[in-house]
């Protein structure tokens, strides 16, 4: 599946589009350096340079759709969502989301973005299965995934170290119906 940079996945309040190096902004850096935002993430610091490199690698990877989440009203970049890696043979992919602008938390944006990404994966990319891993402590994220229709596949006990404590990793899946 060829990636079309200009393509938009449009929802009620947000749209998703593929990121380019120009999207490596100060705000995007700030999100990843914010302990409240990054507490359950693997990345805990970023610079404009490191973000440009990260985006460039993903743009060139045919097994990855790395999209920004944008507010339709003002075109503000508020977060990211991705399918990575995509296994085209198995028609499966792993997803992950970040709403970096905290003023948008708790308004259903995470749910809307995840639904858009999942529907795109199933209906446009031809995937049959999407999975993700979430730390058991990340209650907001688990709630989002449940609202979208993900179900728990299995739990990897004490699989992820996070600030010196090992937490359970919940692996959730959704299948095309």
Ligand X SMILES: CC(C)(COP(=O)(O)OP(=O)(O)OC[C@H]1O[C@@H](n2cnc3c(N)ncnc32)[C@H](O)[C@@H]1OP(=O)(O)O)[C@@H](O)C(=O)NCCC(=O)NCCS
- Per CB under 6 A, residues contacting ligand X are 37, 40-41, 96-99, 105-111, 134, 138-141, 143-144
Of 68 and 110, which has the nearer Cβ to ligand X?
Answer: 110
Question: What minimum distance in Å lies between the beta carbon of 32 and ligand X?
Answer: 10
In three-state secondary structure terms, 113 is: helix
* 120 close to 150: Cβ distance less than 8 angstroms: no
Question: What minimum distance in Å lies between the beta carbon of 97 and ligand X?
Answer: 5
Of 4 and 103, which has the nearer Cβ to ligand X?
Answer: 103
Of 62 and 139, which has the nearer Cβ to ligand X?
Answer: 139
Residue 171: Cβ within 10 Å count: 16
Question: What minimum distance in Å lies between the beta carbon of 22 and ligand X?
Answer: 22
Question: What minimum distance in Å lies between the beta carbon of 89 and ligand X?
Answer: 25
Q: Which residue is nearest to ligand X (CB)?
A: 110
Give me Rg for the CA atoms of the chain.
Answer: 16
Buried b (16+ CB within 10 A) or exposed e, 7-40: eebebeebbbbbbeeebbeeebbebbeeeebbeb
Of 106 and 126, which has the nearer Cβ to ligand X?
Answer: 106
Of 88 and 159, which has the nearer Cβ to ligand X?
Answer: 159
Question: What minimum distance in Å lies between the beta carbon of 26 and ligand X?
Answer: 18
Return d(Cα 70, Cα 47) in angstroms, integer.
21
Query: Between vectors from CA 115 to CA 114 and to CA 118, what angle results, nearest 5°?
Result: 85
């Amino acid at each position: 599946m060829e990636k079309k940079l200009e393509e938009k996945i449009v929802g009620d309040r947000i749209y998703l589009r593929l990121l380019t190096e120009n999207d490596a902004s100060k705000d995007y850096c700030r999100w990843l350096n914010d302990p409240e935002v990054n507490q359950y993430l693997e990345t805990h610091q970023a610079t404009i340079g490191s973000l440009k490199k990260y985006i460039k690698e993903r743009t060139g990877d045919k097994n990855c759709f790395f999209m920004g989440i944008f507010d339709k009203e003002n075109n503000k970049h508020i977060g990211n969502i991705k399918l990575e890696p995509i296994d085209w043979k198995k028609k499966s992919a792993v997803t992950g989301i970040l709403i970096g602008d905290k003023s948008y938390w708790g308004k259903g944006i995470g749910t809307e973005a995840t639904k858009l990404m999942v529907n795109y994966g199933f209906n446009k990319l031809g995937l049959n299965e999407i999975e993700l891993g979430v730390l058991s402590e990340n209650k907001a994220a688990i709630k989002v995934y449940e609202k979208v229709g993900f179900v728990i596949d299995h739990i990897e006990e004490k699989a992820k170290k996070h600030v010196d404590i090992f937490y359970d990793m919940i692996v959730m899946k959704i299948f095309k119906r």
